Chains A and B, each alone.
Chain A
Amino acid sequence: MEHTQSAEVLEPVHHESSTKVIWQTFWILLAITVFEVGLAFLHLEYGFMPRMFLNGVFIILTLFKAFYIVARFMHLGSEIRNLIMTILMPLLLFVWFIIAFLYEGHSWKNMRKDLAPGTKVEAPKVPNAEHEPHH
């Protein structure tokens, strides 16, 4: 890293940018994508794996790809810890963001189902057994 400016002196950082690592990362990304598409086809043709489980696998594989792009291609993996933290910590907001909004969406769906015109309303049953008439 020879980009030294007069104002700022930077520590030399060992960037893992050997072409070997780059191509290795490429093959990993390609393999994951091919695997994802393969799983999708298996599901389409043979109904392989329940949909919910398959979606979980897709999301995990997507996060793997994201990790490799950010760590290897964007070289975040070889930056110092301070920089990694200032980039990644704000992204933790996404945890709340995703859970809160998808939960909200799900609850809307339940309301739509329950309140849709023509939905039969079940009369609430008396939970108390004491009042049951004995014969």
Chain B
Amino acid sequence: MVMQRAHNLWVPFVTLLIAFMLSALPMLEWVQWGWPEWVLMVFLYWVIALPQRFGIGWAFVLGLLLDLLQGTHLGINALAMVVATFIVILMYRRLRMYRVWQQAFVVCVLVVVYQCITYWLQGIGSNASSGFWFLLPAPISGLLWLWLFVVLRGIRRAFKVA
């Protein structure tokens, strides 16, 4: 019985590890500006698919890891992740009903929220500024969602992650 009820929970963590690696990949400067928020997107997929397993607690942990990886002040990415996850948990049932492009739009808005929080909190102690270009990853993340959603759904079904 126990064997049958394996949930294959290692699968989401592997996808998250890959997302972490993608987010830390060294890039050309102009690519960096539009580099999507991989960790956020992959995590949001798993929240929508398995809300009973992935919630605000994990969002907090992953956000802290992102802070460590990117060298931002501890808690900045964590707060942004927690806020985005909270919004998704409030509406994941509706999100499941949406078409993929509608989801992509929501993801785009969530990335805007995420970027605003991290950018502003980082801006408190810094003097870099560049208009609204910091929001560029949002539409790109939205577009990418169309592809990422299909891939992650395929992975989830193939490994029967529950």
Q: Do A and B bind each other?
A: no
Residues of A in contact with B (beta carbons under 8 Å apart): none
